[in-house]
A and B are shown apart, each in its own frame.
Chain A
Amino acid sequence: MADEVCFRTLHLASPWSLSAYESVGGYQVWRKLLKEKIKPEAIIDELKLSALRGRGGAGFPTGLKWSFMPRNAKGQKYIVCNSDEGEPGTFKDRDILRFNPHQLIEGMAIAGYVMGATVGFNYIRGEFFEPFERVEQALQEARTLGLIGKNILGTQVDFELHNVLGAGAYICGEETALMDSIEGKKGLPRFKPPFPANYGVYGRPTNINNTETFASVPVILQHGGKWFLELGKPNNGGCKIFSISGHVEKPGNYEVGLGIRFSELLSMAGGVQKGRRLKAVIPGGSSAPVLPAEIMMNLTMDYDALSKAGSMLGSGAVIVLDETTCMVKMLARIAHFYFEESCGQCSPCREGTGWMSRLLHRMEKGESKMGDIELLNSVADGIMGRTICALGDAAAMPVQSFLKHFKNEFEYHVTHKRCLIKDL
């Protein structure tokens, strides 16, 4: 049960080609919808049944999100794909764009049909030159076949899709910042409400989903919502791509059913490198709270189990840390990242991320003062829940969780001015 959804062409030669995609049933769903004029409500019901949840990090039920769009409202509506992959540890959308671009295109076209939107934007991070070229080429092929564009296959249905590029800003992965970026502005997250379904790109109703989410849709509709649901577990339907990085023998993307035991996933990635012991795991990208080995080894990998354990599945980026990892250095690097990427709009995040980064770097270098740990904790608490977007929380959660589970290492750095791991 692997590589069945977004990676279903991966075993073929030139998996990104139109012929490879068509050989696994590609564009059949799109053709069928158009030909049989299947009711949008029926598609949304199927997605709800599938228990597909947003693959970008928030895990919001996709069928429900699609039902929020006012499909019959007059005027332009937009479908937007968030291919601004940038959560540290995450590298799955890059592979979907490179190896199965047609499936994303089909998923977005279906979304346009369901939600009454005739234009889509696929916002790809600026560094992804190669993936951009692949999707651009696939889009040209789809246009040539008449599957994208005006009056598709003579059905009077229009759907025009555009690949656009960012220019290097993590914050543009936040959905409303991404919309500002499409509009040619700095990527500053907007206040919500209004939500994108009412006020999105150019102030028009907009549906935005992650690359993996859109790319899952054609397969769900081909095999049915129930089939997809049963690939995973109740409320956590389907396969998910886990991007496994860090201290494992075989880092890489693994598309497996949600609910897989972490221990099994770790084995698939070759286990902990060099025969070392597992220390901890960041299970859902750098913003997800870290969990110690003993908790992880008893967990299943799905939204509900990780949330119950005090962390989150996030984007499915599993960062594995072995026993040689200094948690102070690790957290200092994470804190630096959020400091670099804070858009500066909200004071708690703009000031707090810099404060945390400086405190942690001096702790790592053994230059801390007594009371720095308490100060660090209070800065994190001061950011949590006090910002427009989730970047503030994303910066605070690692700090809180590292201090919760590995406080002794931080105390050692403060009191001994040295690294506990190096002294062991």
Chain B
Amino acid sequence: MTVVLSHQAKLAIDAWLTKYPEDQRQSAVLFALKVVQEENGGWLTEDLMDMVAAYLKMPRIAVYEVATFYNMFELEPVGKHKICICTNISCMLKGSDEIVAHFKTKLGIDFGQTTEDGHFTLKEVECLAACGGAPAVQIGRTYYENLTPEKIDAILAELEGVK
């Protein structure tokens, strides 16, 4: 199966490339991987990474290195909503243990797992720089702060109608 870079992805990557010198196409790799990951439902396949390598004229291995180094890239399928829970010190001091337990019980999954309906993935992450609003999580592009079990219920209900 041949995978092709979508027209939309090409446009976005080309626009991003204007930020860098012409002979430094590799500079756009983080952004390019984000674009194709998002188009693919939140995770990267080897085909997608190879495609990015070809488009940016860089060795495939250099793309794999980047994809495995930065933790916002996923190499396995994830749910529609990736819930990234900060458990670092400021969040821990403000009760992230309770937040983690509530998400796990409510969704019936552990860290690194996805609900059977494919809606939610739970991921433990390091400091999100939202310590003033601890405990905090990131879902998609949005930060949710000062979380309580009640707030979590409301957020999940809003996202997917989970009761």
Contact = CB atoms under 8 A, between A and B. Distances in A.
Interface of A: 76, 85-91, 93-94, 121, 125-130, 162, 164-170, 181-187, 202, 243-247, 251-253, 282, 286, 317, 319, 321, 325, 329-330, 333-334, 337, 340-341, 343
**Highest count of chain A CB atoms <10 Å: which of B30, B58, B94, B142:** B30
B92 A86 contact: no
Interface string B64-93: 011001111100000000001001111011
A222 to B, nearest CB: 28
Interface string B22-38: 00101111110110000
B163 interface: no
A192 to B, nearest CB: 21
Given A126-B72, A341-B126, A88 B66 contact: no
Interface majority SS on B: helix, strand, loop or mixed?
Answer: mixed
A167 B126 contact: no
B161 interface: no
B129 interface: yes
A282 B134 CA distance: 16
A328 to B, nearest CB: 13
Nearest to A204: B21
A8 B130 CA distance: 21
Contacts of A253: 132
Given A130-B143, A169-B71, A246-B94, A94 B129 contact: yes
Contacts of B129: 85-86, 90-91, 93-94, 125, 127-128
B127 A86 contact: yes
A121 B20 CA distance: 9
Contacts of A334: 89
B138 interface: yes
Interface of B: 19-21, 24, 26-31, 33-34, 56, 58, 62, 65-66, 69-73, 84, 87-90, 92-94, 125-134, 138, 141-143
B30 A166 contact: yes
Contact of A89 (B20, B65, B131): B131
A279 B62 CA distance: 47
Contact of A87 (B30, B127, B143): B127
B66 A319 contact: no
A286 B28 CA distance: 31
A184 B66 contact: yes
Contacts of B69: 169, 186-187, 343
A293 to B, nearest CB: 15
A379 B126 CA distance: 23
B28 A184 contact: yes
A202 B126 contact: no
Contacts of B30: 126, 165-167, 181, 184
A325 B71 CA distance: 30
A88 B89 CA distance: 7
